[in-house]
Amino acid sequence: MKSQYLILLALLVIPVRAGSQVLVSSPLSPRITGYSIDAVLDPQAKTVNGKMKAYWVNVTDDSVPDIWLHLYLNAFSSNKTTFYREKGGSPGSKPDDLGWVKIESLTDRRGNNLLPAMKYVSPDDDNPDDRSVARIILPQAVAGKDTLFLEAEFESKLPSDITRTGYSKDFFFVAQWFPKFGVYEPPGMRGRREGGWNCHQFHANSEFYSNHSVYEVNITVPAGYVVGSGGITLAEEDNGDGTKTVRTRAEDIVDFAWTAWPGYKVFTDTWKHVNIKLLLPAEKSNLAERHFTAVKYALGYLEENVGPYPWNYLTFADPPVMGTGAGGMEYTTLFTSMSVPGIPDYILLPEMVTVHEFGHAFFMGIIATNEFEEPWLDEGINSYWEQRIMDHYYGNAGIINHPLFKISDKSMARSSYIASPSRQAASNAGYSWNYPHGTYSMMSYMKAAAILHTLTGMVGEETMNEVFREYYRRWAFRHPSAGDFIDVVNATVLKMHGDRFGSDLNWFFEQTIFGTGICDYKVINIINRKAEEFQGLSIQPDSSFFVERKKMPDTLNYSVVQLQRDGEIQLPVEVLIRFDNGDEILEKWDGKSRVKDFRYTGKRKVTQVKIDPEYKNQMDINFINNSMAERPDRKPLKRLFRRIFSIMIFFMDFVII
C-alpha cells in the first residue's frame, strides 16, 4: 500500500473538525467507500473536470475479481439510453445539450491502467446503447477484507435537459456526476444467495443505492458563483485567477451533489444542533421563512418519532425557474425543494416538497434501502412520513389552504391511488423500472403510503412510531430489505400488542404491498321494522295445536345492518352504529367474510352506520359507501351548492360588458 493511499484512507475515515464544528465524533457507518475529488467547473463548456482518488473496502470474505462503477451522466448521451427509452424524448441534438462522463485515466494503487479492462454493461435490460454502468476486471482480485484504491481523471459534461442533474445558462446542478462504486453484496445480504455487485443503470424512475461514504470534494468555480453542496464547507479560497475553490467534506452520506449559480441568495437558520443553509433565487426570497419552517417541522417530527439527524449541517436549494428539473431531489445533507415565484401562501407545494425531500435523509439516506429494487421502502415510507408531518402541522390543508378550498396531503396522495385506473396493474414487489402503465409513482409513493397509514390505523400511531424507532436502531447506516422492515414491524407489534393481530403481520403485507387486490367495505342496507307478533299454529307438547296470535310490545324494533366486502383485501374494521335514542355501538368485524349482518332487537332503531368511522383504513377505495343514514343530512350539500351558485352567477359577469 503506497503511503499516499494510506493518507487518503486516513483522511477520509478519520473524523475531522471544520473550524469548531465537529462533523461527526465517530463514524456513523462502516464507510466502505470514500472519495476525494478535485472538481473544476467550466461554465462555458458546461463540464466538470475531476481528479478522483477513491477506495472500496471489501468487508466481506469474498474474493472479488471486478468492480462496477456507475457512470450516470452517460444516460444523457443519446435518446437510445435506458433512461431516455423509459422517460421518452431526447437529451437534444446539439453537442451542448448532451451529457456524458468520460474517464480519461483509471489506475489502481500499483499504477496499473484499468481502462483497457473496462466494459460497459447493462445488467437491467441488456441495452447496448446504455453506458451508465461500467465493469472493470481487475488484474488481481480484491481479497476479503482488502481495500481497493482507484485514481481517476474524468470529464463530466452536464446535460441541458435538467433531470436531477444538468445546467441551464449559468445555473448548474451537479449530481450523479462522478464515477461511483456500486454496492458489493455478500451472500445473505438483502436475501442474496451469491455475492455480487448491485449496480443498476440510470433509470427514469429511482436513483439511489449506495454505500455510506466519506467525501472530500474541492469545487473550483468562477469567483462570483454561490456554491451549495452535500458537504460542510471547510474553506473557501480565492485562486487569484477569477476562480475560487470551495473545500468541502461530507461523512456517511450515500451521494455527493452540489450546485453553483451566481444568482443564489443565501439564507441561514438553525434548529437545535443543525445549521441550515438555504439557497434561493432572488425572486423566491419571500419563501425563505416558509421553507425554514417546513424543514424545522420535519427535523423535529422525524427526530422525535424515528431517530436522530446526526449531522450538524443541512443545505437545501429551491432552484430558479430555469433549473426546475433539478427540484425535488435528495442527497441526504443536500436536497432541493420546488416552487414557482409568487406562489401564494395558500398553496403549500414548497412546504410539501421540502418536507418530502428532507425526509429522504432518513429513508434512503440514513436507512439506505435499494430504491431500484424496492422503491416503496424509500419513496413509500418517506411519503408516509411526509403526509404525517404535513397533516400534523398543516391539518386538513397540507396542500391547499384557502378558505374556500382545502386539500390535505394525505387525501391528495390517497386520491392518486384510488382514482388510478391502473391501481391493480402491479404490486409493490417489482423493480422500479418494471412498473407497468406508468404506475411507478402511484404504486411506490401513494399506494405504499396508504398501506402504511392503514397499518397505523390498525396498530396505532405510537406503535408505528416505535416500529420506526426500532427500524432506525437496527438499520441506520445499513441496507435493509423489505423483509427486514417487515421483521421489525412483526417484532414490534408482537411486543406491544401480543398476538392481537396474529403471530405476525405477514398476512397484511402479503395482501397489500405484495398483492394487487383492492379494499372496499360498504354498507348495503339498514332495515328497521317492528318485531312482528306471532300468528299461526301453536304446537303443544302433546302434538295438539291451535291458532295463536301473540301480542308483542308495541315499541320493540327489529333492526338489521347489512355490510359487504367487495374487494379482495381482508382487513379488520370497526363499525359504528347509531340508534334513534342516541345510543352508539362500536362493533368489530374481522372483515373476512363477503357479507356481514349486525342484528338488534329492542326499543331503539338504527339510524346511521359507519364502517371505519375514523377513516383509519386509507386503502378502502370508496369512503362514500362506507356509511349510510336513514335520513341523510343534506344541509352541507345545500350549503355547498348555494356557494357554488353564488360564485358562478357572480363571475358570469366577466363576459358582460
Partner 1 sequence: MFQHIKTGLHSSLKCWRWVVAFWLVSALTVSLISFPLKTSVKTILGSSLVTGRLGDGFPLDIISNSGAGFDKVGSFAISGTLLALFIIFLLNAFFTGGFFSAVKTGEFTNSRSFFGDAALFFRKFFGINLLTVAVLFFLALLLVAVPSAIGYSTMGNTIIFISLAVYSIAAAMVISVADFSRSMIVSDGKSGIISAVGKGIKSLSSGFLINISAIVLILIIQVLIAYLFVIFIVHPVNSPLGGFLLFAVGHLFNIIKVFIRCWRYGTVTSLSGNRIPVV
Binding to partner 1 (CB under 8 A): which residues in 486-525?
A: none
Contact 353, 328 (CB under 8 A): yes
Shorter beta-carbon distance to partner 1: residue 45 or 644: 644
- Spell out the residues 6+ positions from residue 403 whose beta carbon is closer than 8 angstroms to its own: none
What's CA 593's distance to the chain center, in Å? Answer: 34
Smallest gap, in angstroms, from Cβ of residue 519 to partner 1?
A: 12
Residue with grid cell 436549494, as numbered in its chain: 317
**Element of type H or E holding 398:** none
Q: Which of 85, 109, 135, 406 binds partner 1 (CB under 8 A)?
A: 406
Shorter beta-carbon distance to partner 1: residue 226 or 494: 226
Smallest gap, in angstroms, from Cβ of residue 634 to partner 1?
A: 7
* x/- map, 410-429, partner 1, by CB under 8 A: -xx-xx--xx----------
Shorter beta-carbon distance to partner 1: residue 80 or 402: 402
Q: Which stretch binds partner 1 (CB under 8 A): 43-51, 125-133, 402-410, 563-571?
A: 402-410
Q: Under the criterion CB under 8 A, does residue 633 sit at the interface with partner 1? A: yes
Q: Which stretch binds partner 1 (CB under 8 A): 91-99, 254-262, 354-362, 643-651?
A: 643-651
Contact 469, 364 (CB under 8 A): no
Q: Under the criterion CB under 8 A, does residue 627 sit at the interface with partner 1? A: yes
What's CA 633's distance to the chain center, in Å? Answer: 39
- Spell out the residues 6+ positions from residue 358 whose beta carbon is closer than 8 angstroms to its own: 295, 298, 299, 314, 316, 330, 335
Shorter beta-carbon distance to partner 1: residue 137 or 644: 644
Binding to partner 1 (CB under 8 A): which residues in 249-288?
A: 282-283
Rounded to 5°, the CA angle 554-560-564 comes to 170
Smallest gap, in angstroms, from Cβ of residue 231 to partner 1?
A: 29
Smallest gap, in angstroms, from Cβ of residue 346 to partner 1?
A: 10
Q: Under the criterion CB under 8 A, does residue 643 sit at the interface with partner 1? A: yes
Cell of 257: 451533489
Shorter beta-carbon distance to partner 1: residue 19 or 403: 403
What's CA 365's distance to the chain center, in Å? Answer: 11
Locate the DSSP E strands across 470-556: 521-530, 534-539, 545-550
Shorter beta-carbon distance to partner 1: residue 547 or 656: 656
Q: Which of 397, 467, 505, 573 binds partner 1 (CB under 8 A)?
A: 397
**CA nearest to 363, candidates 244, 496, 254:** 254
Distance in angstroms (rounded) separating the CA atoms of residues 137 and 116: 9
Shorter beta-carbon distance to partner 1: residue 412 or 496: 412
Contact 331, 228 (CB under 8 A): no
By CB atoms closer than 10 A (0-12, 13-18, 19+), residue 532 is: exposed
Smallest gap, in angstroms, from Cβ of residue 344 to partner 1?
A: 11
Q: Which stretch binds partner 1 (CB under 8 A): 266-274, 496-504, 584-592, 619-627?
A: 619-627
Q: Which stretch binds partner 1 (CB under 8 A): 83-91, 103-111, 234-242, 622-630?
A: 622-630
Binding to partner 1 (CB under 8 A): which residues in 322-341?
A: 322, 341
What are the distances in angstroms from CA 496 to CA 452, 463, 489? 17, 7, 11
Distance in angstroms (rounded) separating the CA atoms of residues 155 and 130: 18
Question: In this structure, what are the phi and psi dihedrals at residue 309, rounded to the nearest 5 degrees?
Answer: -90, 110
Shorter beta-carbon distance to partner 1: residue 64 or 621: 621
Cell of 22: 465537529
Smallest gap, in angstroms, from Cβ of residue 442 to partner 1?
A: 12
Please give the residue ranges that form the binding site for partner 1 (CB under 8 A). Answer: 282-283, 320-322, 341-342, 396-397, 400, 402-408, 411-412, 414-415, 418-419, 608, 610, 621-630, 632-650, 652-653, 655-657
